Amino acid sequence: MMKTNFLLRGNNINYPKMEQKPNTQAIRIQTSRTNEKEHSTPLFLTSSFCFDDAEQMRATFAGELENNIYTRFENPNVQEFIDKMCALEGAETGFATASGMSAIFGCFMTFLNAGDHLLSCSSIFGSTHTIITKYFKRWNIDYSYGDLNDPESWEALITPKTKMIYIETPTNPGLDIVDMEWLGKLAKKHNLIFLVDNCFATPVLQRPIEYGADLILHSATKWLDGQGRVLGGVVVGKKELIQEIYLFCRNTGPSLSPFNAWLLSKSLETLDVRIQRHCDNAEALVKALDGHPKLNSIKYPFHPSHPMYEIAKKQMKRGGGLVTFDLKGGLESGVKFLDALQMLTLTSNLGDTRSIASHPASTTHAKLTPEEQEAVGITPGLIRISVGLEDIIDIKGDIIQALEKS
């Protein structure tokens, strides 16, 4: 039996009984204090847990008692991280995984059977796109991609076999925005599971449950850790759905390690302040680059030129920490820009304290044809900046000097 989260437990002294704001809960939720009376959560580096007697062991395995059994199923550090994520997302319960991709794959494999159909769109993270377009065939799972610029056309793509709607918003790397209120209603009308990858916004900026999402997942590797240290993933949402994910994952093994969970749980204590500062820096960068002669365009969810600006304003509190711009000189300028940077890091992660630059057309998306690149919003000169927490003067200074050389 999956462990109930703290909202449903009641016997744990360190789990708040009084009403608290989600951000307070992300700081205050903690595993039961041990006899050592520690203030900060200790690490539970153990692969299994002990029973007092045969009857306790039997009853736990039978699901009559909620005790820890084995770290592939549950672990106090992992549970603490999950419970904080539930508080932040306003979800009933959750399951944590070793990476964002294992959260995504675990959700697909739990609910999609041979013959089923998934509705998504091409503006999704590259590895997710690969699972859908390359591996689904093996299991006879079908999919359709709706056109984000033509929401009216999505309903016609739903078939009697459709089981799930899956989206990301904002998308990676195109920063497209999907209207979650509209899709939540569509999913409800057709009785479909509505799953949202909330990696780019984090629950600080948007809570998809408020728009009808049944399940929300994250690559915790990004903003949740926020310091580029560990891989992790998490899915939260409706209890009856998470129970299915829990059973699938506890048997197939993509569980989060206790060490990574301990670290991610500590990171959540500073998530709100970090995200606010990332947004401050991103907004200042957008302002500084707006109208720059080397750029065709700049894209940021809270910039009025964003095609889905109104929807972003409706569902997000702020625009987030990612900014993209399109260099006039295309592919060649993109490469020159990266080489001219003096402080920003060239690395494939995002959501770090350190600002990061990437050029999808020459790296992550180089294997796609120009048409495929265009379909996922990647132009030859597209640069993605994950705006870090350094002094904004230094971030702007490095980008502007590199633009001059691009």
Residues of this chain that interact with ligand PLP (CB under 6 A) are 99-101, 125, 168, 172, 197, 199-200, 219, 221, 231, 233
- Nearest distance, CB of residue 170 and ligand PLP, angstroms: 9
Smaller CB distance to ligand PLP: residue 131 or 311? 131
In one-letter notation, the amino acid at residue 207 is R
Written as six digits, the tokens of 181 are: 């209120």
- Nearest distance, CB of residue 386 and ligand PLP, angstroms: 10
In the bound state, the residue with its beta carbon closest to ligand PLP is 100
- Nearest distance, CB of residue 233 and ligand PLP, angstroms: 6
- Nearest distance, CB of residue 173 and ligand PLP, angstroms: 8
Cα angle value 194/149/313 (rounded, 5°): 70
Please list, in sequence order, all residues whose beta carbon lies within 8 angstroms of the beta carbon of residue 390, skipping any fewer than 6 positions away.
281, 343, 353, 354, 355
- Nearest distance, CB of residue 168 and ligand PLP, angstroms: 5
Q: Please state, in angstroms and rounded to a whole number, the distance separating the CA atoms of residues 29 and 25.
A: 5
**Among 56, 96, 135, 46, which Cα is nearest to 236's?**
96
Smaller CB distance to ligand PLP: residue 295 or 383? 383
Smaller CB distance to ligand PLP: residue 94 or 100? 100
- Nearest distance, CB of residue 175 and ligand PLP, angstroms: 11
Q: Please state, in angstroms and rounded to a whole number, the distance separating the CA atoms of residues 278 and 383.
A: 18
Q: What does the CA dihedral 6, 11, 15, 18 come to, rounded to 10 degrees?
A: 100
Smaller CB distance to ligand PLP: residue 183 or 231? 231
Q: Please state, in angstroms and rounded to a whole number, the distance separating the CA atoms of residues 36 and 34.
A: 5
Residue with tokens 């506890």: 250
Phi-psi sector, 270: left (phi>0), alpha (psi -120 to 50), beta: alpha
Please list, in sequence order, all residues whose beta carbon lies within 8 angstroms of the beta carbon of residue 152, skipping any fewer than 6 positions away.
none
Smaller CB distance to ligand PLP: residue 3 or 222? 222
Smaller CB distance to ligand PLP: residue 176 or 197? 197
Smaller CB distance to ligand PLP: residue 295 or 350? 350
Q: How many residues does the chain have?
A: 406
- Nearest distance, CB of residue 358 and ligand PLP, angstroms: 10
